[in-house]
Structure 1
Amino acid sequence: MASPSNASRDVDSTTPAPFLSRLLSKEASIAGPGYSRWLVPPAALCIHLCIGMAYGFSVFWLPLSKAVGIAQPIECEAGMSFGALLVATHCDWKISQLGWMYTLFFVFLGCSAAIWGGWLERAGPRKAGVVSALCWCGGLLISALGVYLHQLWMLWIGSGVIGGIGLGLGYISPVSTLIKWFPDRRGMATGMAIMGFGGGAMIGAPLADQLMAHFASAHSVGVWQTFVALAAIYFVFMMAGALAYRVPPAGWQPPGAAPPANAAGAMITRRPVHLRDAHRTPQFWLVWAVLCLNVSAGIGVIGMASPMLQEVFGGRLIGIDAGINELGAGQKAQIAAIAAGFTGLLSLFNIGGRFFWASMSDRIGRKATYCVFFALGIALYAAAPWAGHAGSVAVFVAIFCVILSMYGGGFATVPAYLADLFGTQFVGAIHGRLLTAWATAGILGPVLVNYIREYQLAHGVAKAQAYDSTMLILAALLVLGLICNLLVKPVDARFHMSDADIAAARQAAHETRPALLAQPGATAAQSSLAITLAWLAVGLPLLWGVWITLQKAALLFH
């Protein structure tokens, strides 16, 4: 007679799993014959273009700061306790309180990616993408209820915490899959997907503006309705992307393709490193520092781009030789519009740099690419004060456009850097842990820029010169980053996985099991049509965002 444990195993092995469970399993996403790897980047972009709206959430701050007063903010009485502010319904929130959502986004992005990266490798990108959609869009719905009930804590929990978890899972969901589909073009593949995260705000922010204008009334600023609409739109796109994910069969290689022979050939490992060992290597922490320092410098500039241009050049932006404090209200509005164009132009270079530099790294190697980031960045940060004092707006703008392209390029290149060093078996999970560097930089960069500026102004430094010391300190950060990058060497062989470990890891990740659902083959015509439609679905919204951004950026050249 079979023991209960054996009987339960027999039942488990013969009882079919529910359809939804099978659909979301990793085995069900194994690609069938005739599947084109060029369908995977659009699937990743469907998710990244949606969660990238996290960068554009500042578009909601001003309307939310007068959600009760509608026309003008109603200030809370002085001395209200922290707990009372979280639940107050009779007065408006301050922008500084709302800004905590932005901080929570990136803290929980890094934490969730680090905590659940290992689960993602086992569960597969499809299931992770679905969970990401539920968290991100569910967080927006909770925030919509929070705005409707005027409960600040619901916004922090909804979008900040739950949405932040969705950000982390959505951000890393395609990394391992893309690298395995494009072993010959690792940088380009991850660059295409991560480009979408930078582009999400470029689409989402103007869309949110239009939705708020549509829903606004005498009794509402239109934010909670916009949150609901965005949640519905994003859910459709994110679920489509998640269900479209396919993983390659074990051992798959692109026909006729071979890993590129480039300057980083010696840095590309032939054996993977286990997730449990990756953080024990000096390479992990060196690359962690490389990403943290590169992002700290760039993210500090992003947060202060608009006021920096206005304070450095003042009236010279509109042909008047006067400082910003000497301008009238109408003139300040003019230069604020020009500064908004500067911010838009930076976002374009941030996005374009993700694809350009990541693709370039396939040719010159990841280590060399980061050396370019740091060496060129040091020179550009050091030159920025000179451009400001010389009154050259064009040179100043060009400097920061290149800097922001390398900021974005750093994000897109690091997954391929990790795959080169640690192999592809656990690269998604290792990347997830590395993103704690982003969470750290999200605090370090803005704090450095903001507090140094405040210190300078408090000690009588003119606003036009208040950023000089900041630029030199950011250049010093890049010097440290360059040193860390130069110290990166191939991972010691003692950390490499044995054949038995590799086999066990692949078994745990369901990479050696057959597909649960049949994946039919596709003809060349069907494949071409599917690729065209998939790229149009993500390309058209992205082009619309680029067009809107270019219109704003054109103000810089008038």
Structure 2
Amino acid sequence: MGFLDREHSVAGPGWSRWLVPPAALAVHLSIGQIYAYSVFNKPLSRLISGDVKAETGAPGDWSLFQVGLIFSVALFFLGASSALFGKWVEREGPRKTMFTSALLFCGGFLIAALGVSQHQLWLVLLGNGVIGGIGLGLGYISPVSTLIKWFPDRPGLATGMAIMGFGGGALIGSPLGTALMARFAGDGTLGVGSTFLIMGAVYFLFMIFGALMVRVPADGWVPAGFVPKVNAAGGMISNHNVLVDQAFRTPQFWLLFAVLFLNVTAGIGVLGQASVMIQEMFSDKVLGAGNGVTAAAAAGFVGLLSIFNMGGRFFWSTTSDRLGRKPTYMIFFVLGTVLYFLIPLFGNMASLVLFVAGFCVIISMYGGSFATVPAYLRDLFGTANVGAIHGRLLLAWSAAAIAGPTLVNGFRDSQIKAGIPAAQAYSTVMYIMAGLLVIGFITNLLIRPVASRYWASPPDGQPTPTARQQAADD
């Protein structure tokens, strides 16, 4: 298994860096299946009754709340494993990390299939939630770190290509899972068990392809004609490296942690409630009998949001190469705040077109924040430990995955209990989300270049900063 070691994956002379994005996409499109996990929720909650169309399950069936825990657990372990194993990823390299990710993520499907056949929820949680979630974390950060090293001239473009795949994984996973469950509906598990086995095998092949293809650049490699931007963007693009433990102590890390947490909290809460929200805000009572948004139309809305989630990851991260990372996040927060304030107005106007368009832009910026943040880290902390730093930062995602849905669902329920019609119950939530983005704008505004005392080493040929220089930087 020595071919998995980092030293055996160093690219030789003339090897094209454009072979790395397909390798990264093979992994991210596979693990992005987690965004489509909801297609299994209803069948998993009807395994005993055997009737997926039934309004309620039979005695002993799992509830939708219990099944929903699988997705939450997987996202939690994605962030936790990214933070915990970030140093290991940098040390061992992308090939071993992506191979390990494939074993864990796809092996999780096999354990979950056993749990489904035995009707043991803890096995499904262990497989798709814990073990699969750790595989998610390893698979998420390793291609990103590698791409940043290969594309120092266009880090936003590079990370956008990979993370776009994670956002678009649902576009493959959702129809694939649905078709397989229909094909194997008579297997005694409503097709879920067989689907888990097949998807685990298919995704394993794709992820192994990515692991075998990926390479790391040789020490000192740079693209032909590349000249590092020294003190570019007002000093926000550094040519110094900061190691992960030092980065963890900088105010820039925690400010960026808050930036990501606030932007993701505002987006993920709405994304998880999108189908119910559009049906309640544009029901027959609002638009007239027979004109309300149906469940099928709401599903189409969710699919449209997935497309903008995916496209926004590439568009905004690429745009950030021109505008700079800090200005791009300023756009996220300013435009997002305006749109969240307007969404209740669109609802009162019964303007479905404006409502859908507003949320498509919001979700594109939600996806864009994920794809842009690795390049933001690279600008601030250099490339040496960017994967490990990115892993720790993803704890903000884990926290937002809990905070966002809790805010949206909690305030909606409280408004309805207070007698406010369901169509108007989301207004307060939208204003709260706008307030979070205002705080995010201020937080992003406070980010400055990293002080010299955190640098791992000065650039070649430059003396170590004096105490006076350090004080000036601070």
Instruction: Flag whether TM exceeds 0.5 (same fold).
Output: yes
> Larger C-alpha radius of gyration, 1 or 2?
1
**In 2, distance between residues paired with 1:499 and 1:24?**
32
TM-fit CA distance, 1:276: 1.2
In structure 2, stretches of 5+ residues that fail to align are 461-474
Select which of 335, 359, 363 maps to 1:404: 363
Partner of residue 39, structure 1? 19
Select which of 406, 409, 413 maps to 1:447: 406
SS at match of 1:264: helix
Counterpart of 1:210, as a letter, is: A
The one-character-per-residue Cα deviations of 1:315-370 (angstroms, maximum 9, x if unpaired) are 289xx525xxxx7xxx87x6111111111111110000000000000001000000
Partner of residue 205, structure 1? 174
SS at match of 1:469: helix
Partner of residue 29, structure 1? 9
Contact 1:262 1:364 survives alignment (8 Å): no
1:321 aligns with 2:288: yes
1:221 aligns with 2:190: yes
Partner of residue 394, structure 1? 353
TM-fit CA distance, 1:126: 0.5
SS at match of 1:184: coil
Partner of residue 504, structure 1? none
TM-fit CA distance, 1:65: 1.0
| Structure-to-structure mapping, 1:177-192, within 5 angstroms | 177-192=146-161
1:98 aligns with 2:67: yes
TM-fit CA distance, 1:95: 1.1
**In 1, distance between residues paired with 2:428 and 2:131?**
38
Does the C-alpha gap of structure 1 residues 339 and 366 become closer, same or farther in structure 2, counting only changes over 3 Å?
Answer: same
Partner of residue 470, structure 2? none
**In 2, distance between residues paired with 1:440 and 1:390?**
34
1:69 aligns with 2:49: yes
**In 1, distance between residues paired with 2:257 and 2:49?**
45
TM-fit CA distance, 1:175: 1.6
Select which of 228, 231, 243 maps to 2:212: 243
In structure 1, stretches of 5+ residues that fail to align are 1-19, 77-90, 502-558
Q: How many corresponding residue pairs?
A: 457
Does the C-alpha gap of structure 1 residues 243 and 144 become closer, same or farther in structure 2, counting only changes over 3 Å?
Answer: same
Does the C-alpha gap of structure 1 residues 231 and 383 become closer, same or farther in structure 2, counting only changes over 3 Å?
Answer: same
The one-character-per-residue Cα deviations of 1:383-441 (angstroms, maximum 9, x if unpaired) are 10111101111111110000000000000000000000011000000000000000000
**In 1, distance between residues paired with 2:327 and 2:457?**
30
Contact 2:228 2:239 survives alignment (8 Å): no
TM-score, length of structure 2 as denominator length: 0.94
The one-character-per-residue Cα deviations of 1:201-226 (angstroms, maximum 9, x if unpaired) are 11011100000000011733010000
Contact 1:213 1:222 survives alignment (8 Å): yes
The one-character-per-residue Cα deviations of 1:68-109 (angstroms, maximum 9, x if unpaired) are 111245433xxxxxxxxxxxxxx2111110111011011100
Contact 1:139 1:163 survives alignment (8 Å): yes
1:308 aligns with 2:277: yes
TM-score, length of structure 1 as denominator length: 0.80
TM-fit CA distance, 1:257: 2.9
Counterpart of 1:465, as a letter, is: Q
1:122 aligns with 2:105: no
Contact 1:48 1:196 survives alignment (8 Å): yes
**In 1, distance between residues paired with 2:172 and 2:429?**
31
1:141 aligns with 2:110: yes
Name whichever of 112-121 and 258-267 sits farther off. Answer: 258-267
Counterpart of 2:21, as a letter, is: P
Q: Among the aligned pairs, what percent are the same residue? A: 58
1:59 aligns with 2:42: no
Select which of 443, 457, 460 maps to 2:416: 457
**In 1, distance between residues paired with 2:234 and 2:303?**
37
1:380 aligns with 2:339: yes
Contact 1:264 1:367 survives alignment (8 Å): no
Contact 2:268 2:405 survives alignment (8 Å): yes
SS at match of 2:294: helix
Alignment RMSD:
1.7
Contact 1:43 1:241 survives alignment (8 Å): yes
Counterpart of 1:63, as a letter, is: P
